[in-house]
Structure 1
Amino acid sequence: MSRPLLDGKVVLVMGASYGIGADAARVFAEHGASVMLFARGEDALRTTAERIQRTGPDAAFTVGDVSVAADVARAVDATAARFGRLDGAFNCAAMTQAGLLDQVPESEFDRIMAVNVKGTWLCMREELRIMREAGAGSIVNVSSVSGTRGGSGLGAYNATKHAVIGLTRTAAHDNGPRGIRVNALAPGPTETPMLTVTREAIPGGVEARIASTPLRKAGSGVDVGQAAAWLLSDSAGHISGIVLPVDGGLSA
């Protein structure tokens, strides 16, 4: 019987309180990883960590805001202190926003940029600090199909997801010589609380996208987590700088 994809590895999950992050954390544990969970929601993090501990490897959590540099640094340091190393990181923390691009309130624009773009950059900066010392590591950032194409109604969100791809590709070039791989996932419509917000903001928009998807269904957080587990694993050891769609064929 083959070994689990992430057997013995330590993975930090940023944005793990619900949705894709929480589902992915459970997938990583099922594949043999010990996980550190990070998000703002303490109760949700505790629930996920306890669920993982009952069935698999070790799990811990730390609370904070991905857009606050000190919080992110603390999460990475806590991972190294608890588990002794950091093999992989899954940067999933994000927020959405709906509305025409020129009608987005400045405060909303600033906040989504702080979480989705600055937050991803802060996560990578601190994760790379540890991984460079080890001379190895794998980072997976979460973008979106919205980061690979245009579309009306999610202007600021789309812009942030394009930016995540730019950060990912640049980090892959910067850190490949140091033995660190950096990739991104581009999920399509995925059944999470965030998708519920989009459904409410753009009536019919989500259903139209699902209808145009070859598999004719939305994905799940587990689908995204399985793809991330592979990219984080040694099985993807010669893959870096890619954007992998997890979209049921929507981008085909």
Structure 2
Amino acid sequence: MSRRSSDTANGLLYGLYQKRLRRDLAGVGPGSLPRHVAMIIDGNRRWARQAGMTTVAHGHRAGAAKMREFLEWCDDLGIEVVTLYLLSSDNLTNRPSSELSDLIEIIAELADDLSRYRDWRVKHVGSTAGLPERLVGSLADAEKRTADKKGMHINLAVGYGGRKEITDAMRSIVAAHSAEGGSLETLADLLTPDLIGAHLYTGGQPDPDLVIRTSGEQRLSDFMLWQSAHSEFYFVEALGPDLREVDFLRAMRDYSRRQRRYGS
């Protein structure tokens, strides 16, 4: 069999398998699919190096394009909330300035693109500390432009760190309590997981049911530490830009077959 014939046959088999997965998911019961999916896109730099690209920016741009596809897959399956981990607070200090400059531009473009696509609602989750004005403006514009939309809710985790988020939540609680004239003794009585959760960047949103990470790495990297306490996890070997819809559908099928225990 020629290479072209082999590729055609593989493409046909892939398409049939993808359709079968979609049929399987169409038949699952209510509540069997996640309401909120969080995605750690990883491997963009490795993808660029393996492809012989001149800069890793090519990998980040390919990863951003893949994230729009990923959001389409989620939307088509009825997922209500998706959080994309795009730039950590640690990245702001541990990445070369040239790479960081390219990545910031790519994220700004992605935020603008997503805010003009479908009926999606975009929100920035993270701190603006250390982010350039251009990116802060793009994220704010995307939020404002989509504030009245009723479709899938998209969190863009930019300048995000899980430990910083919890710290910021506690500071917010203390500041609000102090402004109301409360004492430390009464504050201690008021502190509950629900109160802390309400002051997180994602306050008012459901916690992620499923956290997906690409590139085969199996760690959280300071992502949604509080919110993922009872999340399910799914790790994909594919590098970020190589993620396929069939990988996503497998993750959804796997989730639908799990029995969630919520720590019990």
Instruction: From the CA coordinates, give the structure whose radius of gyration is larger.
Output: 2
Same fold (TM over 0.5): no
TM-score bracket for this pair, using the shorter chain length: 0.3 to 0.5
Tell me the TM-score normalized by structure 1. Answer: 0.36
Tell me the TM-score normalized by structure 2. Answer: 0.35
